[in-house]
Chain A
């Protein structure tokens, strides 16, 4: 049976080759969109590592790069944080460089135990653990008196601990960031604690390494923070934003401020990541619809050309169901060839490790979705033309010229 089908496909090799090519490209389109979708879904299911319930951000805009700051600015920031904490409506407040769901990030790279590790980092004050509800899994969090240490205490997330130290104990390990020539070297960093995986960029972002450095408020060497994250008591009205802004503006008249619940940042982060996916999905849908209609037309026309062949089969005793099955099986064979080519091509991604973020699970999921949808599309498109072909009367068919 299979050999016979191959023969039929081979006899019409030029037409078949073009159909296989079309299926191949459709497969690639679905694979790309499905893999991106799988990637988002896979990330969404992972633990986030923090909670933004009742958390607002007070963003400070100094209109300057981070490279330069004056000791006065650092002092203003410390005063501002103290002032913000004094509100009754605020449970706790923490200073930081970056906020969850924000677009930009602070990146750092270093060599640990002879291999290169990149990570995102943030400089935070000790209150951050309460504000974002971080969960410590080993060691301790920052505490009073840490700012006076001769070294810089850091807390890392589980991903970084795994990546940097493998199975070894992370607590107490030293991290050394190379300082650019001419710059004052940062004090040596030492890991004091490990928190659960922390995915700052939000639910849809991939896993990544993260490091919290202690922001030492009294130290004029430390730059002022760009963000104050506040946890307000539940039931605080939105109008409190204005009060908070006015107070902040009073403390630092030279800076600009913006207050926003983090839920709003979360929304924009979702929109930013989902929009390309949705646009891609819509375009892919129309492409598939186009391919589907095209396949129906081509199959129909091809079968019309083969009326005599089908008539002969019917005359020699093949039932309608058998003709039907033959046509669908031929189509499945063509699809298999196209999907096979596509799979060989996309298999290069994990084999050659082309795209780092595609994990095995995401890849397999994308592949599965692509295969299932292409087979479904292809079989659906074969049903109508094959039903038409099966309806051919042997006598008419044999006469047909």
Chain B
């Protein structure tokens, strides 16, 4: 039956080429935009290299200090994170590893008098064991390097190109931000959208120029916690919450602030916490952010849908005699609705196929343009599945009303080719 529907659909598509073209154009333009947006979100949130364990990682990203009158929100300070994470892995077996890392900032070097800007991140040794970087040469620095303040650095391939003309860099030194580091490893470029992993140059935290950061509660650090499984998330969250509560006793400026807000979040939760609870940071609501994404998608789809509905309705008129015959021979309205919806979904899927090819082209243009540093946007299985879901939804959304209108045609009138 479905096979017959598809045959009919193909025939209809071939009959009115102009209509087929405008339908497919609309469908594929719509899906290109949605698939590019999906690929961007995928690059931020999906667990892919180097954030391979993203699906079982929690992070303490932004925290807030508050009193009755004022609130200060920002990234956490090293002092606070160190206090919260200390002995966490031994006391809570559900936590496999923890790492503290700084937010990347730009740092300046001068090569033959020319300024070179690099992204610069300070991390501990555990960072390299939670995230899975692809090393082109050398190896990461270790927890010992961090403890002893060794001036060592891991750089990415682009930095190697800039500083050493692409030649092997391990063992050479690199001057950056007024300090000198010995290169111990070179990794593949990490896209800027990978907010936790991204940088050009990674060095140990303890190479900081001053040591006052060790006491700060607010600063520019974040922490990631690798859980043994997602099932442990609730337990880890409440442990972190309890430790943040306990840390309130040690707030460095108690005359100003009394409470700490924040918690361990998934990446989605972290974005949502910042967006939706601006002042209190009391809770993360990842479902709200998902809701916003869905709402935006629906809003964007309204116009293409109305457009496709209009085109579909016109096509029905074109086929009134076929419908008349089918009805006269006893096809029920429901059968016809089914047939038309299947046809529309089929058409949408063809459009989605074209859209997929176009989206791949748009993404590789985006990658090549350098608009998003080191972006590695691509269509993977996940994006493909999302795209397929969106296409099916779009096909149903835009097919139901025309199908219903079609099934309402009166057979006698339909056979005479009268208007609906």
Contact = CB atoms under 8 A, between A and B. Distances in A.
A348 B69 CA distance: 35
A24 B198 CA distance: 43
A238 interface: yes
Interface in B49-103: 67-70, 72, 74, 77, 102
A401 interface: yes
A19 B113 CA distance: 63
A382 B222 CA distance: 59
Given A22-B310, A63-B220, A301-B314, A293 B209 contact: no
A259 interface: yes
Given A63-B219, A286-B29, A297 B303 contact: no
B12 interface: no
Interface in B1-48: 18-19, 21-22, 25-26, 29-30, 33
Given A19-B310, A257-B178, A258-B108, A68 B253 contact: yes
A287 B303 contact: yes
Contacts of B209: 253-256
A65 B219 contact: yes
Nearest to A73: B212
Contacts of A258: 106-108
Nearest to A288: B303
Given A19-B310, A64-B216, A183-B256, A294 B22 contact: yes
A67 interface: yes
B287 interface: no
A174 B304 CA distance: 57
Contacts of A377: none
Interface in A125-176: none
A254 B208 CA distance: 8
A63 B311 contact: no
B354 interface: no
A61 interface: yes
Interface in A280-309: 283, 286-287, 289-291, 293-294, 296-298, 301-302, 305
Contact of B318 (A18, A67, A301): A301
A interface majority secondary structure: helix
Contacts of A398: none
A249 interface: yes
A181 interface: yes
Given A181-B67, A297-B314, A287 B29 contact: yes
B218 A65 contact: yes
A65 B216 contact: yes
Contacts of A26: 303
A67 B67 CA distance: 14
A290 B25 contact: yes
Nearest to B318: A301
A64 B115 CA distance: 25
Contacts of A15: 310, 313
Contacts of B255: 182-183
Given A180-B69, A259-B108, A297-B18, A25 B302 contact: yes
Nearest to A284: B303
A294 B311 contact: yes
A329 interface: no
Contacts of B148: none
A294 B219 contact: no
B212 A64 contact: yes
A67 B256 contact: yes
A239 interface: yes
Interface in A228-254: 238-239, 241-242, 245, 249, 253-254
A302 B317 CA distance: 9
Interface string A192-221: 000000000000000000000000000000
B250 to A, nearest CB: 14
Interface string A263-292: 000000000000100000001001101110
A230 B224 CA distance: 40
A25 B105 CA distance: 42
B110 A242 contact: yes
A293 B26 CA distance: 9
Interface in A322-374: none
Given A238-B115, A294-B26, A65 B74 contact: yes
Given A182-B256, A287-B303, A298 B219 contact: no
A172 B145 CA distance: 59
A253 B177 CA distance: 11
Nearest to A19: B310
A257 B309 CA distance: 59
A245 B178 contact: yes
B213 interface: yes
Contacts of B308: 294
A181 B18 contact: no
Nearest to B29: A286
Contacts of B303: 22, 25-26, 29, 287, 291
A357 to B, nearest CB: 19
A78 interface: no
Interface in B89-134: 102, 105-108, 110, 113-115
Interface in A1-51: 12, 14-15, 18-19, 21-22, 25-26, 29
Contacts of B67: 180-182
A254 B210 contact: yes
A253 B303 CA distance: 59
A132 to B, nearest CB: 23
Contacts of B106: 258
A234 B419 CA distance: 77
Interface of A: 12, 14-15, 18-19, 21-22, 25-26, 29, 61, 63-65, 67-68, 180-183, 238-239, 241-242, 245, 249, 253-259, 275, 283, 286-287, 289-291, 293-294, 296-298, 301-302, 305, 401
Given A259-B115, A290-B304, 11 more contacts: A12-B419, A18-B313, A67-B256, A180-B70, A255-B210, A290-B22, A290-B25, A291-B303, A293-B22, A294-B311, A298-B314
21 contacts: A14-B420, A18-B313, A22-B306, A25-B306, A64-B212, A68-B216, A180-B69, A241-B115, A242-B110, A245-B178, A254-B210, A255-B210, A283-B33, A287-B304, A289-B25, A289-B29, A290-B25, A294-B308, A297-B18, A298-B310, A301-B318
- Across the A-B interface, the 9 shortest Cβ-Cβ residue pairs: A301-B314, A254-B210, A239-B113, A293-B22, A294-B307, A290-B26, A182-B255, A25-B303, A249-B178
